[in-house]
Each structure stands twice: as C-alpha cells, then as structure tokens.
A = this chain, B = another copy of it.
C-alpha cells in the first residue's frame, strides 16, 4: 500500500468518518462500536465519474466491499454479443459486491451514473472484523438477504406498467429528499435496460402514468401524485409496503 495524499487525508480522522457521514441508511450505521470499527478499516474514499474506467469489472478478484456515499453506481454484465445488462442501481448507503461474496470474483462491472463517491472496505479486513463482531456479520447476511428478496421479486414476469411502477416506488423510497420530488439520476435508456424494457416502452408507459394524473413531469424531475395508484400496480413486486417515504417514520 502506497501512501499518497488521498490516503493520508482519508486517514486523518478515521473513526470520526462514518459517525459524521450524512448517509443514514449506510451499512456502516449500527451500534456505535460497530460503526467506529467499520470506519477504522476503510481505505480512502474513491470518486468516480461517468465515463471513467469501471470501479471493478467482471472477473476481477473481489478485494473490497464498496458502499456508496454519494451519487449512483450501476452494476452490469456484458453478454457475448456486446449487449449491456444492468443488474442494479446502487444509491447512497448501498453495499456493492454482495453477489460476489461466494465466488470471490466480481460477477458484474461497476461504473458511475452521475459523479459519485464510494467508500472502500478491504475484504480481508472485513472478514477479520466480521469474526470479531458477530452482530455485524449478521447484519451483512441480512443485507444480502434483502437484496435477494428484491431480486427474486423483480424476477417475476410482470408487465411494463408493473415494472416501471415498482421502479418508481422503489426509487422514491431510496431517494427521498424531504419533498415529493423524485429526481432520477439515470437516463431512461438505463431504466429500460434494467427493467428489460425498450427505451421507447419506458417513455410511453411513463406518459401513460402522466395522462392518468399519477405523475407530473418537468425539467426538475417527477412528482408522484398518484402514489397509491402506482403502489397498487407495483404491489405484486414490491410487496404490501405501500406507504410513501414521508409516512415511513415508524
């Protein structure tokens, strides 16, 4: 490990880091001892911008777990004919790399959708920490379990309307910004790729939602006026957790 400026900076306040971090839903959040311990193993944060080389690529040895601190990271695979298949969008607080833990090599590549920051937890240190803190290990399993449940739900053979509805609901929950404005960081092409829909289908379906008065669309983003109607469509996918973010205090 070389000692460049970025590393030095990152290590000046190693334990204060996660405790001061504004990302509430981060995996690092937990009992204070766990959070500080997690902080202590972090390598310097990385900044990633769209167009930059991938954070990691398919087949790379998995040597770190990543958490998103800001922005949006997408993971994807490339099939034999060059087509890109987006496997997930990772927003602040999300872990990246959970689907590679058993294989030891990355099952996807990762790039930034918008300028982003990711925290890097070296895997060897993570494993040591998990041995010392069983409750942290349990939380990691639970995170993986949650991802699994979501992936299984998205697998279903659902209509374009249902898929897009589920996507909007899911994003609204995770991007909740204090108002009902939903600013999606990724282009419709990526949404379509992720949902296995053509870009045109995403656009048309969204327009349908607008024409039904469920969604308002302007330069700044989306407004989900018909949250309940959209959630009803999405219910088979996201489950019966149909309350909007601003009502999820409990």
B-contacting residues of A (Cβ < 8 Å)? 77, 79-80, 85, 87-88, 98-103, 107, 127, 130-132, 134-135, 137-138, 140-149, 151-152, 154-157, 196-197, 235-236, 239
- B98:A148 contact, CB within 8 angstroms: yes
Alpha-carbon gap, A87 to B155, bound state (A): 8
28 A-B residue pairs with Cβ-Cβ distance under 8 Å, sorted by A, are: A77-B236, A85-B156, A87-B152, A88-B152, A98-B148, A99-B145, A99-B148, A99-B149, A99-B152, A100-B149, A101-B142, A101-B145, A102-B143, A102-B149, A107-B149, A127-B138, A130-B138, A131-B134, A131-B135, A134-B137, A141-B144, A144-B145, A147-B148, A148-B148, A148-B151, A151-B151, A155-B196, A156-B196
4 closest pairs, A vs B, by CB? A157-B196, A102-B142, A101-B145, A131-B134
Determine the chain B residues whose CB is within 8 A of the CB of A147 once the complex forms.
148
A138–B134 Cα gap in the complex (Å)? 10
By a CB distance below 8 angstroms, the chain B residues around A102 are: 142-143, 145-146, 149
Contacts of A127 in B (CB 8 A): 138
A130-B137, A137-B138 known, 17 other contacts, Cβ within 8 Å: A98-B148, A101-B145, A102-B142, A102-B145, A102-B149, A103-B149, A107-B152, A107-B239, A134-B134, A137-B137, A140-B141, A141-B144, A144-B148, A151-B151, A151-B152, A154-B155, A155-B196
A135 partner residues in chain B, CB cutoff 8 A: 131
Q: Which of B140, B146, B236 sits near A79, CB closer than 8 Å?
A: B236
Task: Kindly provide the distance from the CB of A83 to the nearest chain B CB, expressed in whole angstroms.
Answer: 8
* Interfacial chain B residues near A143, Cβ < 8 Å: 102
User: From A157, which residue of chain B is reached at the shortest CB distance?
Assistant: B196
* Distance in Å: Cβ of A57 to nearest Cβ of chain B: 15
Docked pose: A76 CA to B151 CA in angstroms: 14
Q: Is the CB of B130 within 8 A of A134?
A: yes
Complex Cα distance A148/B146, Å? 9
Q: Which residue of B lies closest to A155 (CB)?
A: B155
* Cα distance, A240 to B134, chains bound together (Å): 34
The answer on a CB contact under 8 Å between B137 and A141 is yes
Residues on B with C-beta less than 8 A from A156 are: 85, 196
